[in-house]
Amino acid sequence: MSKLSFAGILLTVLFSSCGDAANTASTELPGAPMAPTEAPKYTKGAKMDPICEMEWDNAWVEFTVYQGDTIRFCSENCKTAFLARPEKYVK
């Protein structure tokens, strides 16, 4: 397999699961520590995606305004998850 096609497959797998809770549990290795059950907490003005906690990137186009704060998301999946239950992710 060429390096280019392997990299493409890897990127597809990594980015397609972002913000999708169903996919994150299945990607854990046996014996790996379990992810915390508590949702990440977004602090006003934070430079991170409140769902998956990725560091903020200027290329992100998904956002919403919640309680006067613009919140940016790495993907539409993360934005959808936030909009379904924003109180779960905001301190």
Amino acid at 12: T
Compare 50 and 41 and report the one with higher pLDDT.
50
Q: What residues have CB less than 8 Å from 36, skipping those under 6 apart?
A: none
Mean pLDDT of the chain: 72
Map tokens 């890897």 to a residue: 10
Determine the pLDDT at residue 73.
93
**CB contact at 8 A, 13 and 23:** no
Supply the pLDDT for residue 38: 61
